Structure 1
Amino acid sequence: MDLHTLKIFQTVAKMGSISQAARELQYAQSNITMKIQQLESDLQTTLFYRHNRGTALTAKGSLLLTYAEKIFDLIEETQNMMTDDQTPRGPLIIGSMETTAAVRLPSVLSKYHKDFPEVDLTLKTGSTEENIQGVLQYDLDGAFVAGPIKHPELIQKEVFEEELVLITDTKHPPISSIKDIQTRTMLVFRTGCSYREKLEQWLHQERVIPNKIMEFGTLDAIVGCVFAGLGLSMLPLSVVAKHIQEGTLRQHSIPNQYGKVKTIFIYRKERYVPSSLIKFINTLGN
């Protein structure tokens, strides 16, 4: 088994058909077929099921794809290490929760960009779960997520602590118990959001079933709908402090066990850490 054949196998697996892989690699379809048959013969196993719509991986094929991706990731990592002269440059992809990106990161990103202008920094927002998977699958170099995180392949660095509050429109009466809000609509981010999970833990603990839950994709949408009286939400105080000070939203405190969330920065443990990421992590401590 050589790397060239392994790359052909990986392409067929990802494209889902030999014909599409041939177009992608600009090879003759017969050559692709021959290479796959040769690989299956060498490994003495069937890697693909053939059907009229293309191909599907067998159990052994899926296992080989996992190892193939690790091999090519390691090759890329080795090349990066050999060419890294410790001057931060090139792409750096960072993931973040939207709330963290909106309030905590502008000054961090501005300083980093000023200090290391040769780095092509990209910020992608998503839920904690999406960001964790992004780091594990090598789509992100690192990410800001709600902690703590227990995963053997990740290193975590605590960077912020958020105080969570319930927010409502200003006409809403004081909330003395979570049972006061069980008839209200809960406005939340998609599943995987740590703040939503905290709210759901609180509701479950108090055996409260909300009247309705509405999911939103952006922070601005949640804040705007709370302001309009559509429902209430639980968000970091740092995100809504300005609205509360301006009198457009009302804040309600929550029990301590649900009111604190640590924001941590995660990155992969086993991989080579480029100088661009090292400098970014150092910036978080300044």
Structure 2
Amino acid sequence: MKKTLLTLVIFSFTNSLFSQQIEKLDYCNCIDKIENNSPIYDGKYERNCNEKITTVGSFKNDLPDGEWISYNYKGGLISKINYSEGKFNGLLELYFMNGKVKFSGSFINGKKNGIWKYYNEKGTVVIDGEYEMDKPINIWTVKDKKGKKIVTQYDYANSKYILNEVEEKLKGSTLLGGVFLSYDLFIENAEVPIDFWDTYADLKYLARYQIEENSSSTFILTEENGKSSNTTITFSSNVQTDPESKLHKIEHNKLSKKLLYYRILKALSVLPPWIYKGEKETTIYIPYQVNIR
């Protein structure tokens, strides 16, 4: 009986090994492990870089599902994100290199809901407010980087500013705290992943926003060939990493591009809310370039 049980355990372990698919990224010393990668991604996923786990999560029907956790090269947390078949669902937390929380907010089946807070590296709240199923409600507050002085305060219940010291660059609907604040947050949260770091990448995305009169907003993110004629904002990301002698000319695989797409989706999804000012449609153009001169 014991021998039979041992045989079953060995068979089960061996079978799980054979069912795991491995994709090697030798240029960045990374290995992607996933239960199934063809014809779609499905099952548990893990990325190891330089023999350290950097990402763990799961796919379901080619979409991120369940909890995804990312780590920096020191083993510290970068993010904890909960998905339900590609939609944010549950708590989403981002972290600074020092381990302190950078952002904390929650979603219900893709819709923003509950208290959202943004912090500086010392742990002080610099932006806070509340959503009710995608609709920003009550008073949202934006402070300076030290978290001491209020620079913008908007009352969404009455659709009016209580205080605003930020010069608005958009004529129509605008982002709370100004475009520059959202751009800085986007660049910070869409940081270049290790598999793109010492490579060449020239990708272009469009985020098409629909903004309602109650300032709730949704967007669709697509990879595009170029800038749209009705683009309102450009979030340009052009990073130079190392000298040309250290760069790799490679074709990024399907999984790397998919994970980058969700990284950009995350960075856009955690921006401060919009303020409706008569314009329901707007587009953010995102040229994502690494080592492109």
What is the TM-score with the length of structure 2 in the denominator?
0.25
Higher relative contact order (CA 8 A, sep 6+): 1
Higher helix fraction: Structure 1 or Structure 2?
A: 1
Structure ID, larger Rg = 1
